[in-house]
Structure 1
Amino acid sequence: MTESFASDVVAPGTFRSLMAEFPSGVAVVTAMDDGVPWGMTCSSLCSVSVSPPTLLVCLRAQSPTLSAILRRGAFAANLLHGGAREVAELFSSSASARFDRVRWTAGPGGPHLREAAHAIADCRVSRVEDAGTHLVVFGEVFDSARHDGHAPLLYGRRGYHRWPG
């Protein structure tokens, strides 16, 4: 016997409030497109599989960063450390010339924000799924780096926080 559920869904504001109660790490997802760096803050990132090593990111369908990722077929996930709140805010804003305001180096998947990240994963796009207002991009990790000594930056309850301890 299957239950029947109403076809209604919660309002977007209600859903945002619900998800604000689920803290997550913060990343800046980056890509290069014809020599131009692109990037955006992302808290919708998770591991999918260890073999092959795969993660996913959920990016707004109209994002120019997503367009660059799809054209290039690769991206970098810069996992931000607790002292990188300003970088997270910069890459979540509509500010132009974001990469002129931070130090970065070219990486095999996309720009690396080494001073702001405690870990970086370089990924090649292995699959893309439509999820309404966003696309889910699956990335097979082909290179990674960790910078020990930094605690992660978290986002929850509509604010940035440092990992305790």
Structure 2
Amino acid sequence: MTDPAVRTPPAPQATAGGFRTMMSGFPTGVCIVTSADLDGTPRGMTCSSLCSVSLDPPTLLVCLRAGSPTLRAVLDTGRFTVNLLHEGAREAAELFASGDPERFALVPWERSPEAAGPHLVRDAHTIADCEVTLTQRTGDHVTVFGEARAIRQEQERPPLLYGLRQFRSWSAA
């Protein structure tokens, strides 16, 4: 029971800046989500909003910015690839976060006919090709659920992490 004579100041309102600061204190792994649009143009963006959902079937979710060309390609094709970045892939993470339209000309990648999207074989430690099973828009992002259809380990290297608005290696953490 609280004493009515003791006044508690009201909690400050949540703002976009305050929320961003709060979430920067929650380090996470880094991936690049890739797909190709209907004419075959590769699309991709850096993403730290990735979460496992289910083991059976193997399902994950990614949160992609509404209006992004990558999201449009994912929604149009119903497929995407998650490239989990290793500790040496900071430049790729920054490139795909920059919006540079030439990003795919600046990194090595490959895409076989059965792949859901471009595979960043130099920069990824593990790659998962996924099929979209559900989407949900919330605010300025869309949560895309994907069932992993193929998983391929590329390299045995520690993951790249992002927190406090900085990239770090697992080894340094």
Under TM normalisation by the shorter chain, which class is it? over 0.9
2:27 equivalent among 20, 23, 33: 23
Q: Secondary structure at the match of 1:140?
A: strand
Q: Secondary structure at the match of 1:150?
A: coil
Aligned to 2:18: 14
**Cα gap change, 1:52/1:9 in structure 2, threshold over 3 Å: closer, same or farther?**
farther
- Number of matched pairs: 160
- Any conservation in 1 of the 2:124–2:155 contact (CA below 8 Å)? no
Q: Secondary structure at the match of 1:18?
A: helix
1:163 equivalent among 144, 167, 170: 170
TM score, norm. by length of structure 2: 0.89
**Separation in 1 of the partners of 2:36 and 2:159?**
25
- The residue identity in structure 2 corresponding to 1:41 is T
2:160 equivalent among 122, 129, 153: 153
- The residue identity in structure 2 corresponding to 1:32 is A
Larger CA Rg, structure 1 vs 2: 2
1:97 equivalent among 72, 91, 102: 102
Q: Secondary structure at the match of 1:120?
A: strand
- The residue identity in structure 2 corresponding to 1:72 is T
Aligned to 2:7: none
Q: Unaligned 5+ residue runs, structure 1?
A: 1-5
Aligned to 1:3: none
Aligned-pair RMSD on alpha carbons?
Answer: 1.6
Cα displacement (A) at 1:9: 4.8
Runs of 4+ in 1 over 2 A off after TM superposition: none
Aligned to 1:140: 147
**Separation in 2 of the partners of 1:152 and 1:143?**
20
**Separation in 1 of the partners of 2:158 and 2:125?**
7
- The residue identity in structure 1 corresponding to 2:33 is V
Q: Secondary structure at the match of 1:68?
A: helix
Q: Unaligned 5+ residue runs, structure 2?
A: 1-9
Aligned to 1:124: 131
Cα displacement (A) at 1:147: 2.5
Q: Which moved further from structure 2: 143-152 or 117-126?
A: 143-152
TM score, norm. by length of structure 1: 0.93
**Separation in 1 of the partners of 2:152 and 2:25?**
30
Q: Secondary structure at the match of 1:15?
A: helix
- The residue identity in structure 1 corresponding to 2:52 is S
Q: Secondary structure at the match of 1:54?
A: strand
Deviation string for 1:39-90 (max 9, x for gaps)? 0000000100001110000001111100000001000000000000000000
- The residue identity in structure 2 corresponding to 1:141 is A
**Separation in 2 of the partners of 1:153 and 1:139?**
22
